[in-house]
Chains A and B, each alone.
Chain A
Amino acid sequence: MNGISILIVIMLPIVGGVLLPLLDFDARRAREYYVLAIVIATSVFALSLISGSEGTELILYHLTSTIDIAFRIDRFGGIFALLVSILWPLSTLYAFEYMRHYHKRNRFFGFFTMSFGITLGVAFSANLITMYLFYELLTLSTLPLITHDGSREAKVAGVKYLVYSIAGATAAFIGMIAVLTHGGSLEFNVIGLGSAVTEANRAFFDGAFLFMFFGFGVKAALFPLHGWLPTAGVAPTPVTALLHAVAVVKSGVFAVGRVVYYTYDADYLAGSIVQKLALWFAAFTIVYGTVMAWKELHFKKRLAYSTVSNLSYILFAFLLATPSGLTAGLLHMMFHGLMKIALFFVAGAVMHQSGRTYVTELRGFAKAMPVSFGVFTVASLALVGVPPLCGFLSKYAIASAAVEEGSRSAYAGLAALLISAVFTALYLLTIVVRAYFPGENYDGHNLKDVTEANAYMTVPLVTLAVLIVVLGCFPGALTEFISGALSTAFPGL
């Protein structure tokens, strides 16, 4: 399979998405079949590409002499693409049901499908500039999704999201160009800066790294730059679930991973002040995210803050710049995607069925929506890190990577990891307890109209729960697939 197939996989959803408003479906059924067909075709195609044709390349265009738009399928991108291709069909199915009583659905599903292609573009890009291109397009394609229901609050969230993302993207761009002008290569098959780094311009390269780290950190919801994630919770749930728990934020973390392992190699970063600073930032975000989540009463905002902290888990793992750090980060990227999207789907189901958005209103919901809250319990236990489930594995991998690295900031991260585990239990299990054990003077008055969501919603939920449990017990195949990424990131190994 030569390079063209990569282009097809990326362009299929984008073109499909663009055509949707033009084709102007009236019947709901027709639109659903069309969108589902495109999404499933793309994910199947992507999965075949990841597993089958590793290493195929495609130079799309030589933009300038030193920069070109090129795609390559390597294991590191493949994992991100795997996550996205699994979750996108599920959330599309979910979105069909959720968006039933929204208007302007053609436009919504148009941009929704386009974001799929663009996220695949981020995954398969072969150098930082191509990734920057898709990174910016992702902002533009997700913006209309956030401001979809046109309320005042949605507009404010949209503007805030736009400002943060554009600022981040430009800062990252400046960092990239700084590296490029001083001899570093942005290609992902050229590991590290090699000869470009001398004692004189080391400080310069550190500065460039910080620009890129905080630039991409905006989308990875790093502490000072995370403001947009909770406010973006106002968007419809499929958007917050898929994009703000999986696609958009993960592309930020993925980008940081690319920068740490492919542009700056491990021995440049290990032990440098820059790494310490970044580690401390990630550690602080972990704690900050969980504490804010515990404080927040709005259901989706609480999950958004939990995403903020979980993303910094992955950042922390990547920043350790050790082989085990890389595998741990990728593992948590996969598992957190699964867990968080399940939690958001349950939140969405609750809002869709009963219109409740606040955590305090969930007394006794387990009886009314047994399947959803069953999945919610499994997912929260996984997120808290109870052993047989997948959350424990990735937390375990990150912690042992940190212990292995052994520096002071690594221990700080470990402490943050543990504290956040406790707070995760705090803000998730209280919901479970309140849902299952409403207490004795409770008569179910507030649940008269609430019924369990229909098949469109429960099927994705159950599949996710099954995935969480199965991957928790039998992660062998996945971990071996992930460790494949080591060979590209650490040629020496």
Chain B
Amino acid sequence: MNKERRDRLYAILCTLLTIVFIGVMLFMATDLPHLGLATNPDINEVPEFYVEEGPVETGALNAVTAMILHYRAFDTLGESCVLFVAAVSVFILLRIDGTASNDTIVAIDRRYEPVNDPILSKTFLILVPAVFMFGIYITMNGHLSPGGGFSGGAILAAGLLLYLNAYGLANTERFMTSKLYRRVTALALCFYAAAKGYTFYMGANGLETFEEAGIPGRILSAGLILPLNICVAIVVSMTIYSMYIMIRKGGFNK
């Protein structure tokens, strides 16, 4: 049974396995509750509560954001921890500590770096502020309109990367140093965890938290949801930026 015979057999087996798997899943899918019917079992008191009570209680018009950041907040806390841990793992893998000599860093900075390419720098001059503005809007209006911390953060990260590619690493690193990254991410996440820890503790033991719904429709209306959205946005943007830097250069500064 030499090597390629074994591979061929493995390939045949895998395709057979997947075909059987898909067959079973399709057979099962036919028996699932059909799409879109209002009488489906998953349309029960839970979504009705979120839609009816959510906006009233938390002041967030967008029921999904109310659910994510208030009712099922523990999931979303875990969510941002996943992001954080992923960033840490990438750091473990790719970060090159001080010891690496200068030329290795240059070698690792593999990509062609367009330095002050006139076309790019001019167009991004207009584009980058627009992207930032849009990102901030999405984050701030998370509880009023579709959007929120995660999507806003992603857009902010995109803006950062555009800036980086347009004006080169040196300029970006002026303000994006590793110390900044660590402090801001840690701060945002700590605030997030502390705030949610506080609300969990108060809620579970029946005490009254200082949160109040505020005037619905306004920016500063949904109690803790807005600050949490901002924290999430920071965490998301920072993580995505750091991952990009790690893969590209293996380090924040120099």
Whether the complex brings A and B within 8 Å at their CB atoms is answered no
Interface residues of B (CB under 8 A from A): none
